[in-house]
């Protein structure tokens, strides 16, 4: 199905099932422990051995020798496969770092061996007996030291966030010089880890030349193609299966060493092998969100109109990697005739930097929305009103190109009213409750809507059950449920008559889970397949397709009706299609918007910060399931608190690794850190987006939250911290007098 004109009235608009806050259909499997994750596929891969991955102990250099003699004779050991046993494997288009093979070390904890044994404990024990000798080389591990010489480099996250090396609109330099009110500040964000609950894990098995990998992957189509290329296999000889995923946040968009080494180990021992990366390898061997150094300059008239906007960002990555696209949102969020954005990329020898939830906008909004707060204070304008004053209904860099929907002002106004923003103390450090300094902060939220081709297959059987098959994944976001809701709405069936099967590369290729594009696109693909199935049913029953209605498990046309199941009495009816998009995205800018509001309390003696309440008001097209959408947003808000207050991978700039590479040292928010969270969805449909008239919301809930927390801390204390995370050591010496 080609979607190249705005959506009109269609069966989804009935909203008998879609749009309702239904429980997740996979919830009972998750809560009973019966959802089979990749490492637990005992059902499909019996008698599996266990692989334990050994990571390099240097950040740059070469492997000179690997002594495997002690490991090979250890109890239970079946094989030891080392990086010196083979030349470097091919690198897929989605990988920057090599995953295995050859002596060269690009980054710390790059895989150098996998030890295979009968049990996990035996494999781990034998792995500790390996002796690896290295030739260490000097590496570049310090972004601050490398930033000055970093060249201009453009980039695209492949998730809706992109920017050129440098873009100019109008005359920024002249407008900034002439502006009566100016801001020029530099901010930093740290390296961050995905820290998902389920580590990267795979079970691999061979049948002749055919490889099956049960893995934890967000993008099945990418993963299948990439493992085929990496191992030199024909794509048709690879099957990838990932029905359940215990979190990913972008860290499982791409093929990683667990899948490759499970496949190599299974080939070596002639039986299935399980491989899971340890926490240190999740941090250092996979991908992370790169640190940034960002400079923002704003110029405005005295009445608050922005006349000059510049946002420049520097990040680092391995050779061949991409920059963190932290300036992307600044190209679209606020009006201003004279504009400059640029990105620089320093070549570092740290582990690979790549997509993490809301790549680009997450660290970019953490900075831009502090700068907007600082500018509002300089102007003496309320921060909410300052943002409203500089709203735009068209792409500010492409005048005449409207937003398909843009309700940012409504998000901010409704958020301010619900939060009680009018009661905010405007004097920083001016409100106390005992030993606690109380502050309120806000920020705009922004994230682009990305359209991605997505397919599905639907099948009706003689019992009136419709089965949906697509390689779409569910990373905890509720894909099973909204896909089932879509099929139920289209076919006029109750939810218990829908079966959804996901994550298998034998199924039609979908958009996959990433960039908050999964829900809208995958359901649109199911919509397209259901349109075909409805046509097949109508033809089979001999009805007039012009006025046919599917409802209550019946098919009606005029004064005739028949059970839906009757169409499949001679055998199942099947239909397959995909949603493909025309050029509407070129004619309209498609984005999502939010207003984030936060209250914090800061201990006047210690600088300890406690978030006390949070509100997000979101405009993101049709909300397919308010319950699961709310869960996505509050999870994103929680991640925003982590980025603001806790999360930072600490770099050992001597040896090139992340020191706090486990969940003891890498701090993330826990239940006690998160207060009451309120989420409001504005009533919105976007017919420009898809037949579902939906957009994404999972990353919108993150973008801007960190800045709202930072702005609240400033309001509470009068201390402006521009170096994330805002830990108490950055506050304590500057807090107001306690007496």
Quick one: which H or E segment has residue 639? helix 626-645
Counting every residue written for the chain, the total comes to 739
Q: How far apart are CA 493 and CA 514, in angstroms?
A: 29
Contact 484, 519 (CB under 8 A): no
| Tokens standing for residue 416 | 């301010």
| Tokens standing for residue 378 | 């300089």
For 460, list phi and psi in degrees, rounded to 5: -100, 130
Which of 525, 474, 736, 464 shows the shortest CA–CA distance to 631?
474
705-717 vs 626-645: helix crossing angle, rounded to 10? 50
Question: What string of DSSP letters covers 540-605?
Answer: HHT--TTS-EEETTEEEETTEEEEGGGGGTTS-EEEEEEEEE-SHHHHSB-EEEEEEEEEEEEETT
Single out the catalytic residue among 192, 599, 699, 733: 699
Q: Tell me if residue 699 is catalytic.
A: yes
Which of 520, 514, 486 shows the shortest CA–CA distance to 500?
486
Which bin fits 119, alpha (ψ -120 to 50), beta or left (φ > 0)?
A: beta
Q: On the CB side of 273, how many CA atoms lie within 13 Å of its CA?
A: 31
Task: Tell me what percent of the chain is helix, strand and coil, each rounded to the nearest 5.
Answer: 30, 30, 45
Contact 620, 613 (CB under 8 A): no
Residue 567: cis peptide before it, omega within 30 degrees of 0: no
Q: How far apart are CA 644 and CA 706, in angstroms?
A: 5
Q: How far apart are CA 102 and CA 90, in angstroms?
A: 11
Contact 226, 217 (CB under 8 A): no
Which of 674, 699, 690 shows the shortest CA–CA distance to 613?
674
Q: How far apart are CA 187 and CA 191, in angstroms?
A: 14
| Tokens standing for residue 154 | 């453009």
| Tokens standing for residue 487 | 């099929």
257-269 vs 220-231: helix crossing angle, rounded to 10? 50
Q: On the CB side of 15, how many CA atoms lie within 13 Å of its CA?
A: 13
Q: What is the CA radius of gyration of the chain?
A: 27
| Tokens standing for residue 212 | 């099956």
- Helix ranges, 380-447 (H): 383-389, 408-419
Handedness of CA 669, 670, 671, 673 (dihedral sign): negative
Strands 104-105 and 61-67: antiparallel
| Tokens standing for residue 445 | 């939220």
What are the distances in angstroms from CA 616 to CA 440, 620, 637?
Answer: 14, 12, 8
Cβ burial, residue 325 (10 Å; 0-12/13-18/19+): buried
User: Which residues are catalytically annotated?
Assistant: 699
């Amino acid at each position: 199905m080609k979607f190249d004109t705005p959506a009109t009235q269609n069966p989804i608009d009935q909203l008998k099932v879609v749009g309702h806050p239904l429980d997740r259909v996979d919830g009972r499997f998750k809560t009973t422990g019966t959802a089979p994750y990749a490492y637990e596929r005992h059902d499909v891969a019996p008698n599996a051995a266990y692989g334990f991955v050994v990571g390099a102990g240097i950040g740059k250099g070469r492997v000179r020798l690997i002594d495997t003699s002690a490991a090979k004779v250890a109890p239970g050991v079946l094989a030891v496969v080392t990086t010196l046993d083979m030349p470097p494997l091919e690198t897929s288009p989605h990988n920057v770092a090599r995953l295995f093979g050859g002596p060269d070390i690009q980054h710390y904890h790059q895989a150098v061996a996998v030890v295979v044994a009968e049990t996990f404990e035996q494999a781990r024990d034998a792995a500790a007996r390996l002796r690896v000798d290295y030739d260490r080389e000097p590496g570049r591990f310090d972004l601050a030291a490398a930033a000055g010489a970093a060249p201009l480099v453009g980039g695209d996250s492949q998730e809706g966030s992109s920017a050129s090396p440098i873009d100019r609109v109008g005359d920024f330099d002249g407008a900034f010089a002439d502006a009566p009110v100016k801001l020029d500040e530099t901010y930093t964000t740290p390296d961050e880890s995905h820290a998902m609950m389920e580590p990267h894990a795979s079970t691999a098995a061979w049948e002749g030349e055919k490889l099956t990998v049960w893995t934890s992957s967000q993008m099945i189509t990418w993963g299948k193609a990439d493992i085929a290329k990496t191992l030199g296999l024909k794509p048709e000889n690879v099957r990838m299966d990932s029905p359940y995923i215990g979190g990913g946040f972008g860290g499982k968009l791409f093929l990683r060493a667990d899948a490759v080494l499970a496949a190599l180990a299974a080939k070596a021992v002639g039986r299935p092998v399980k491989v899971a990366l340890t926490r240190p390898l999740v941090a250092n061997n996979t991908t992370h969100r790169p640190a940034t150094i960002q400079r923002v300059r704003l110029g405005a008239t005295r009445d608050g109109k922005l006349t000059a906007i510049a946002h420049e960002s520097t990040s680092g990555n391995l050779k061949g990697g991409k920059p963190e696209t932290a300036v992307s949102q600044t190209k679209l969020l606020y009006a201003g005739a004279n504009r400059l954005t640029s990105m620089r990329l320093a070549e570092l020898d740290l582990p690979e930097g790549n997509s993490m939830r809301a790549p680009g906008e997450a660290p970019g909004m953490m900075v831009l929305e502090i700068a907007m707060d600082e500018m509002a204070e300089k102007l003496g304008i309320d921060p909410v009103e300052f943002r409203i004053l500089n709203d735009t209904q068209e792409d500010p860099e492409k005048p005449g190109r409207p937003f398909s929907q843009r309700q940012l002002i409504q998000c901010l106004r409704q958020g301010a009213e619900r939060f009680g923003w009018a009661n905010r103390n405007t004097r920083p450090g001016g409100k106390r409750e005992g030993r606690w300094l109380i502050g309120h902060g806000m920020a705009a939220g922004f994230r682009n809507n990305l359209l991605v081709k997505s397919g599905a297959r639907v099948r009706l059987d003689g019992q009136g059950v419709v089965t949906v098959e697509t390689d779409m994944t569910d990373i905890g976001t509720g894909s099973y449920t909204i896909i089932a809701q879509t099929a139920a709405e289209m076919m006029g069936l109750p939810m218990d008559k829908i079966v959804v099967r996901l994550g298998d590369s034998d199924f039609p290729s979908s958009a996959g889970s990433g960039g908050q594009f999964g829900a809208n696109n995958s359901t649109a693909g199911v919509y397209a397949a259901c349109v075909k199935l409805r046509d097949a049913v109508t033809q089979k029953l001999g009805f007039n397709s012009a006025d046919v209605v599917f409802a209550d498990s019946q098919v009606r046309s005029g004064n005739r009706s028949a059970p839906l199941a009757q169409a499949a009495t001679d055998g199942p009816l099947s239909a397959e299609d995909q949603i493909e998009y025309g050029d509407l995205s070129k004619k309209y800018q498609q984005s999502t918007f939010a207003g984030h509001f936060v209250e914090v309390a800061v201990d006047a003696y210690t600088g300890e910060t406690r978030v006390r309440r949070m509100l997000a008001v979101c405009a993101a097209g049709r909300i397919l399931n308010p319950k699961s959408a709310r869960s996505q947003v509050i999870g994103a808000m929680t991640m925003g608190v982590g980025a603001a207050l806790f999360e930072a991978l600490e770099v050992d700039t001597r040896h090139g690794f992340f020191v706090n590479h486990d969940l003891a040292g890498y701090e993330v928010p826990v239940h006690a850190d998160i207060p009451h969270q309120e989420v409001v969805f504005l009533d919105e449909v976007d017919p420009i987006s898809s037949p579902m008239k939906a957009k994404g919301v999972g990353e919108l809930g993150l973008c801007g939250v960190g800045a709202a927390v930072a702005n609240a801390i400033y309001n509470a204390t009068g201390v402006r911290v521009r170096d994330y995370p805002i830990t108490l050591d950055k506050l304590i010496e500057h807090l107001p007098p306690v007496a």
